[in-house]
Amino acid sequence: MKICRYLHEGKIEQAPEEHVPEGAQLLPPVNPGKIVCIGRNYADHARELGNEPPSEPIIFLKPPSAVIGPDDMIVIPPQSQRVDFEGELAIVVGKTAKGVRAADWRQYVAGFTCANDVTARDLQKKDVQFTRGKSFDTFLPLGPCLSADIDPSNARLVTRVNGEVRQDGNTSQMIFGCDRIFEFITGVMTLNPGDVILTGTPAGVGPLKSGDRVEVEITGIGTLRNVVI
């Protein structure tokens, strides 16, 4: 089942995708307290940015203030001359998790959604760390729904810009699977219900410009669409 969160007649509701009223505004599936991201989790993507694949997960954070929903606008900040898309599978935490074994990770998951880890690439390179380049307002579209009925180890992920395919990968290509990611993160910090984990992006990332329409589609979830301004 795919659950959507939406605004209709001034009220925030949630319902199965097929029961969302006509004219309702889709919202992000969750309001996360924190977003934990995995860097360079696809070997081809690591290499396209001039990095070697990591020997253990690389984690960084994005702020909740970066989150927007389906059809919301991605805003290019004046500080950056190169803003990239990064389509990703996102894990939504369902219950408090600390020190979780890889074999048990699915017990702590509410579901999955599409994410776009928008990145000011020039600032990321300039700063030699991820925080500023990943953290601008509107830099984390999430949606369109929350789905528990997918196989996160074998889901096709496609990112399109203005209808042209730019990324076409599969979660089976991840260096560290969701089970290993969950174990690693909960070995460092407690995850709370509603927290989001971004699992990394496949090769093919590239720049966005004002007027672009970017879509992230994942099998079993749907398509997250946003326009750039």
| pLDDT digits 0-9 by tens, 104-136 | 999 999 999 999 999 999 999 999 899 999 999
Among 39-43, 101-105, 106-110, 221-225, where is mean pLDDT lowest? 39-43
The range of the structural domain enclosing residue 42 comes to 28-228
Assigned domain for 210 exists: yes
Assigned domain for 101 exists: yes
Domain count, the chain: 1
**Burial annotation 36-75 (CB, 10 A radius, 16+ → b, else e):** bbbbbbbbebbeeeeeeeeeebbbeebbbebbbbbebebb
Assigned domain for 13 exists: no
Contact 215, 159 (CB under 8 A): yes
Tell me what percent of the residues of the chain surpass a pLDDT of 70: 100
Tell me what percent of the residues of the chain surpass a pLDDT of 90: 94
Assigned domain for 7 exists: no
| Per-residue pLDDT band at 51 (split at 50, 70, 90) | confident
| pLDDT digits 0-9 by tens, 12-22 | 999 999 999 99
| pLDDT digits 0-9 by tens, 63-106 | 999 999 999 999 999 999 999 999 999 999 999 999 999 999 99
pLDDT at residue 46 tops 90: no
* Global confidence as pTM: 0.97
CATH number of the domain that residue 83 is part of: 3.90.850.10
Assigned domain for 118 exists: yes
Residues 6+ apart with CB under 8 A from 9: none
Assigned domain for 96 exists: yes
Assigned domain for 2 exists: no
| Per-residue pLDDT band at 48 (split at 50, 70, 90) | confident
Read off the tokens for 113.
């959604």
Assigned domain for 167 exists: yes
For the chain, report the end-to-end CA distance as a whole number of angstroms.
Answer: 33
**Burial annotation 147-160 (CB, 10 A radius, 16+ → b, else e):** beebebeebebbbb
Residue 146 has a pLDDT of: 98
| Per-residue pLDDT band at 50 (split at 50, 70, 90) | confident
